[in-house]
Structure 1
C-alpha cells in the first residue's frame, strides 16, 4: 500500500516539491514515512490543500479529531440564539462570530 506522503509527493510533483511548499526539508518529509514517525498535525491541512483533497488529514493523522476542526462552530447554534447574542461587530453585545450584520 502506498504511503500517503508518497501519494502527496506524486500529486505535488516530488518529495522535494512537497517539502518546499511546506517549508521543511526533504529529509523531514522522508522521516514522516518511517516506522513510529508521523506528519506533524500542523502540516496536515496544508498537505490536504496542496493535493486537492487526494490526501486527507484523517489519513495522515487518524489520531487527531479532524471532524471537530472541520465542523463550523456555528452549525449547531440556533439562529435565534445568535440573533439574541447580537451581530458580529455589535459593540453593545460584543457580537457573535456566527451572526451576520
Structure 2
C-alpha cells in the first residue's frame, strides 16, 4: 500500500489527522511526511523500515523505495544475525 493510501485508510478509520499521527510515530514533522507522500523527498532507508514497523507492514519498504535492493539487505541482515548467534 502506498503511504498516501495508508493515510486515507487511517482517516476512514477515525484518525482525524493521519499525516500528523504518522509524523509523531516516525518522530518527524508533518511536512516531512507530506514530502514523502508527494515524492519531493526520498524516504531514507532507515525511515522505510520505521514506516513498515509502525504500519504493521501494511506499507512495505519495497513500495516506498523500489530502487533499493531489499532482498539483498534482508539476506545480509539474516546472515549477520546467524553469525552473531554462532559467536
CA-atom RMSD in angstroms: 2.7
SS class of match (1:63): coil
Higher relative contact order (CA 8 A, sep 6+): 2
How far apart are 1:40 and its partner, in Å? 1.8
Segments of structure 1 that go 5 or more residues without pairing to the other structure are 78-95
For residues 40-68 of structure 1, the C-alpha deviation after alignment (integer angstroms, 9 at most, x for no partner) is 22100111111111110000001111112
Q: TM-score, normalised by structure 1?
A: 0.63
The alignment's TM-score, normalised by the length of structure 2, stands at 0.72
Distance, in Å, in 2 between the alignment partners of 1:22 and 1:36 is 18
Higher helix residue share: 2
- Structure whose CA Rg is larger: 1
Moved over 6 A (4+): none
